[in-house]
Structure 1
Amino acid sequence: MTVTRSDHDADAAGADRSAALADALAQIHLSGAIFLHSEYTEAWAYESMSSREVAAVLAPDAARLVLFHVVLAGSCWIEAGSDKVWAHEGDVIVLPYNDQHRMGGHEEAEPVSIAQLIDPPPWTALPHIVHGTGGARSELVCGFLACDDRLFDPRMGVFPPVFVVTPPVGPVRSWVRASSDLVLQQTSRTADDRLGSPTDIPQLLLREVLKLHLSNAPATATGWPAALRDIVIAPALAAMHGEPGHRWTLAELARVSSVSSTVLDERFRTVLGLAPIRYLTGWRMHVAEDLLRTTTLPVATIAHRVGYEAEEAFSRAFKRHHGSAPSTWRERSGVAR
């Protein structure tokens, strides 16, 4: 058994993959800025405007909008769709499809429309929300980026509606905080109806956050930019991402892509380096990891969501991919609190 050789190869592969991910993400055109600074005290909760209303205010000409929140202090939950995830100081929350959402703290509170908390544009200064009843404090900065890349097309289902990234302690985590502080300091009025702020920092921040998120996705993540544009692969990817719990077969996926099973298999192997069903297994494990880390859903529920009828079968598959059982992995990773 050549443990040293194996570990070395894994490290090298990880470094190569990280570089490839960075290169792929660097090719995606993004534009945007920080648009909100907020301070909340327990008890508090708000509901965002609709996706259309947010887009109309921030970037009316953008094809797609990505929202993010950096938690500078405290902790909060955020809900987009049916699941509630938690974020804590130093975390970055991403809403890749600009979904309408709710956010709140540890104590129960009736959500207030954010339209009641923020003055309508045009803004002569960076909007600053102070809301709550005076208890424990949470502070966030919020930003947006406009992008027309298919990576952010909700029909492809590359990302969940909302996810939380925890930068590792060290330079990256410190950089996220320092970057947020810098943007807050440098945002200023540049015209009667316009604010100016550093636009390169939000782009760099989101790229780094996406790289951290995708680094745990199936090993084909670096091939996604090409795969999402491939007329054969893209429909099958959309089907798998959209319904990871469905019991997909190669024949079914081939029908979705309007090709033969042989053509689909060959195309996946050429572009992504994996057979379609192997890719599906990797994607299911990625979805399961997100749910284990950011929700308190029971393992059995997560198993069903990613296509396993029996919790035992899911646990075996998860352990093969991650080296530990789901419950153990969740404890080590710090389940949502």
Structure 2
Amino acid sequence: MSHDRAAGVPDRDPAPADALARLHLRGAIFLRGEYTEGWSYVSLPAHDAATLLHPGSSRVILFHVVAAGRCWIETGHERHWAEAGDVVVLPYGDEHRMGGVVAAEAVSVVTLIAPPPWAHMPVIRHGHGGERTDLVCGYLACDDPLFDPRLRAFPPVFVVRPPAGPARDWVRASIEYAADQTAPVTTHKIEGPSELPELLLREVLKLHLAGAPAAPTGWMAALRDPVLAPPLAAVHAAPERKWAVADLARIAGVSATALDDRFREVLGVAPIRYLTGWRMHVAEDLLTGSDLGIAAVARRVGYESEEAFSRAFKRRHGHAPSLWRTGG
């Protein structure tokens, strides 16, 4: 299969509000962090975080709004950077590391915060007294397949950068209001305006999904489709693999012809065309939010050479990856 081909994904719906509005989300702002350079911490494992924040859930969606400063986050080997006004999303609540610009030894977050019950919103203060980074952190629980870690509809972590203007101002004002309104209601529980964290996540996902291949409503339907869900999960988990339609058909348990028909019916594209579009989507996230070089991004999304990746990327965006990354 040649990787050097036009992405060719169809026109995308830039506002998947209807599909996202159907998500049933439950959550809140739960802490603020004031970190001074240098600093770094390791979070709780996903299940432990869910047990602490939303008992009864196996996983929660975590998000961090950067109110001031600059920081990085990583769940594996890919480091993503975020700055004031950005929103960091961990759709599966994966264990992660965060830190600042100055290198520092990572400490466990459990050493930085007292265990619940909390009489007021916890505030973490940690670091060595240098420049400060402020974070507002929240969580949401959702049973929708969109956040099923087995499907991996999203990368384990991504950074959304709302465009300057009303969108960025709204994120800042909303999160400040939600944090200010969060207060204890009993000796064992703190509460705040849950609608704002829910609305924030919907708006952030809307911005993120604007770059996803195929119409978001069709894409969400595909995640629930018994034929399409398994091959989509495979492609999302390993976009770098040299997938052929026959490979995906075996995973789906149907013939190659039946899989092709189902892709076209639900997503409006052939399987390999979807694969190419998804690779470009992953590449956009990595170029925007990570410090990986162009060659590393190319390998991460299945291109054997930086040149082939650059040609495919330029056909989609009109710019080479390096220029696109810098806003050129």
- Which range moves more in the overlay, 292-301 or 242-251? 292-301
- Aligned partner of 2:173 in structure 1 is 178
**Does residue 204 of structure 2 align to residue 236 of structure 1?**
no
- Aligned partner of 1:264 in structure 2 is 259
**Unaligned stretches of 5+ residues in structure 2:** 1-10
**Percentage of pairs with the same residue:** 60
State the alpha-carbon separation in 2 of the partners of residues 52 and 126 from structure 1.
22
Cα displacement string for residues 48-92 of structure 1 (whole angstroms, at most 9, x for unaligned residues)? 111121111001212431000000000101111111110000000
State the alpha-carbon separation in 1 of the partners of residues 259 and 202 from structure 2.
30
Give the structure with the higher percent helix.
1
Moved over 4 A (4+): none
**Does residue 14 of structure 2 align to residue 18 of structure 1?**
yes
Asked if the contact 1:220–1:274 (Cα under 8 Å) also holds between the matched residues in 2, the reply is: no
Q: Secondary structure at the match of 1:18?
A: coil
State the alpha-carbon separation in 2 of the partners of residues 303 and 18 from structure 1.
26
Asked if the contact 2:294–2:306 (Cα under 8 Å) also holds between the matched residues in 1, the reply is: yes
**Does residue 60 of structure 2 align to residue 65 of structure 1?**
yes
Normalising by structure 1, what TM-score? 0.92
State the alpha-carbon separation in 1 of the partners of residues 293 and 166 from structure 2.
34
State the alpha-carbon separation in 2 of the partners of residues 50 and 255 from structure 1.
33
State the alpha-carbon separation in 2 of the partners of residues 95 and 296 from structure 1.
18
State the alpha-carbon separation in 2 of the partners of residues 126 and 173 from structure 1.
24
**Does residue 89 of structure 2 align to residue 94 of structure 1?**
yes
Normalising by structure 2, what TM-score? 0.94
**Does residue 22 of structure 2 align to residue 56 of structure 1?**
no
Letter in 1 for 2:71: C
State the alpha-carbon separation in 2 of the partners of residues 105 and 54 from structure 1.
22
Q: Secondary structure at the match of 1:205?
A: helix
Q: Secondary structure at the match of 1:143?
A: strand
Q: 2:295 aligns with which of 300, 306, 310?
A: 300
Asked if the contact 1:63–1:146 (Cα under 8 Å) also holds between the matched residues in 2, the reply is: no
**Does residue 101 of structure 2 align to residue 106 of structure 1?**
yes
State the alpha-carbon separation in 1 of the partners of residues 248 and 285 from structure 2.
24
User: Offset of 1:18 from its aligned partner?
Assistant: 2.8
Larger relative contact order (Cα-Cα within 8 Å, sequence gap ≥ 6): 2
- Aligned partner of 2:149 in structure 1 is 154
State the alpha-carbon separation in 1 of the partners of residues 124 and 237 from structure 2.
35
Q: Secondary structure at the match of 2:98?
A: strand
- Aligned partner of 1:285 in structure 2 is 280
- Which range moves more in the overlay, 91-100 or 55-64? 55-64
Q: Secondary structure at the match of 2:326?
A: helix
User: Offset of 1:221 from its aligned partner?
Assistant: 2.7
Cα displacement string for residues 105-159 of structure 1 (whole angstroms, at most 9, x for unaligned residues)? 1111111111111110011100011111111011110000001111111221211
Asked if the contact 1:251–1:261 (Cα under 8 Å) also holds between the matched residues in 2, the reply is: yes
User: Offset of 1:219 from its aligned partner?
Assistant: 2.7
Cα displacement string for residues 169-204 of structure 1 (whole angstroms, at most 9, x for unaligned residues)? 111111111111111111111111111100000000
Asked if the contact 1:67–1:144 (Cα under 8 Å) also holds between the matched residues in 2, the reply is: yes
Aligned length: 318
Q: CA RMSD in A?
A: 1.2
**Does residue 326 of structure 2 align to residue 331 of structure 1?**
yes
Q: Secondary structure at the match of 1:110?
A: coil
Q: Pick closer, same or farther for the CA change 1:23–1:65 going to 2, 3 Å.
A: same
Q: Secondary structure at the match of 1:290?
A: helix
Q: Secondary structure at the match of 1:228?
A: helix
Asked if the contact 2:78–2:290 (Cα under 8 Å) also holds between the matched residues in 1, the reply is: yes
State the alpha-carbon separation in 2 of the partners of residues 308 and 220 from structure 1.
25
